[in-house]
Chain A
Amino acid sequence: KAGVTQTPRYLIKTRGQQVTLSCSPISGHRSVSWYQQTPGQGLQFLFEYFSETQRNKGNFPGRFSGRQFSNSRSEMNVSTLELGDSALYLCASSIQNTGELFFGEGSRLTVL
Chain B
Amino acid sequence: DAKTTQPPSMDCAEGRAANLPCNHSTISGNEYVYWYRQIHSQGPQYIIHGLKNNETNEMASLIITEDRKSSTLILPHATLRDTAVYYCIAYLYNNNDMRFGAGTRLTVKP
Interface residues of A (CB under 8 A from B): 4, 31, 33, 35, 42-45, 48, 50, 55-56, 90, 92, 94, 96-106
Q: Are B95 and A43 in contact, CB atoms less than 8 angstroms apart?
A: no
Q: Which residues of A contact B49 (CB under 8 A)?
A: 99-100
Query: What is the number of residues of chain B that contact chain A, defined by CB distance less than 8 Å?
Result: 24
Going nearest first, the 10 A-B pairs with the smallest beta carbon separation are A103-B43, A43-B100, A56-B97, A99-B91, A100-B46, A99-B34, A90-B43, A97-B96, A103-B44, A45-B99
Given A45-B97, A92-B44, A101-B46, 17 more contacts at CB 8 Å? A33-B96, A42-B100, A42-B102, A45-B98, A45-B100, A92-B98, A97-B93, A97-B94, A97-B96, A99-B89, A99-B91, A99-B93, A101-B44, A102-B46, A103-B44, A105-B42, A105-B43
Closest-CB distance, B41 to chain A (whole angstroms):
8
Q: Which residues of A contact B101 (CB under 8 A)?
A: 42
